[in-house]
Amino acid sequence: MSGRRWSWPRRNTPDQVRDRQARLRALPQWDPAHDFVWEWPLPAVQFAGMLEALTAHTVLPVSVVGPLRVTLGRYRLDDTGALVEEGRDTDELYVPLAHTEGGLSASMQRGMAAVLEGEPVRTHVVRDRMTRDSCFLFETTEEALTFARWATANAGEMRRWLHDPANLLYGQRVGGVPRLSRHARLWEVDTHVLGPACHLLYRYTTGDACGPNMITRNSFALNGEFVLPRLRAATGLQPERVLLESNMGGDKKPSAQYFIEGGHGKTVLAEVTVREQTLRRVLRTTARDLVALEHLALHGSHASGMQSVAFTPASAVAALFAATGQDLGMVGTVGGGTGLPHARAFLSLLRCDGPGAAIRLAQVVAAAALCLELSASAAASRDGSESFATAHLSSSGRQG
Q: Closest CB to its own copies among 129 and 342?
A: 342
Q: In the complex, what is the shortest distance from the CB of residue 275 to its own copies, in angstroms, rounded to a whole number? A: 11
Q: In the complex, what is the shortest distance from the CB of residue 128 to its own copies, in angstroms, rounded to a whole number? A: 15
Q: Closest CB to its own copies among 206 and 381?
A: 381
Q: Closest CB to its own copies among 156 and 224?
A: 224
Q: In the complex, what is the shortest distance from the CB of residue 23 to its own copies, in angstroms, rounded to a whole number? A: 8
**What distance in Å separates the CA atoms of residue 393 and residue 386, rounded to the nearest whole number?**
10
Q: In the complex, what is the shortest distance from the CB of residue 78 to its own copies, in angstroms, rounded to a whole number? A: 12
Distance in Å from the first CA to the final CA of the chain? 57
Strands 241-243 and 121-137: antiparallel
**What distance in Å separates the CA atoms of residue 16 and residue 102, rounded to the nearest whole number?**
38
Q: In the complex, what is the shortest distance from the CB of residue 245 to its own copies, in angstroms, rounded to a whole number? A: 6
Where b means 16+ CB within 10 Å and e means fewer, 129-139 reads bbbbbbbbbbe
Amino acid code (one letter) for 217: R
Q: Closest CB to its own copies among 63 and 187?
A: 63
Q: Please, are residues 158 and 226 in contact by the beta-carbon 8 Å criterion? A: yes
Q: In the complex, what is the shortest distance from the CB of residue 133 to its own copies, in angstroms, rounded to a whole number? A: 6
Q: Closest CB to its own copies among 158 and 200?
A: 200
Q: Closest CB to its own copies among 159 and 297?
A: 297
* Most distant pair of Cα atoms in the chain: their distance: 74
Distances in whole angstroms, Cα of residue 18 to Cα of each of 9, 29, 54, 55: 10, 19, 10, 8
Distances in whole angstroms, Cα of residue 366 to Cα of each of 209, 244, 300, 362, 371: 18, 31, 23, 6, 9
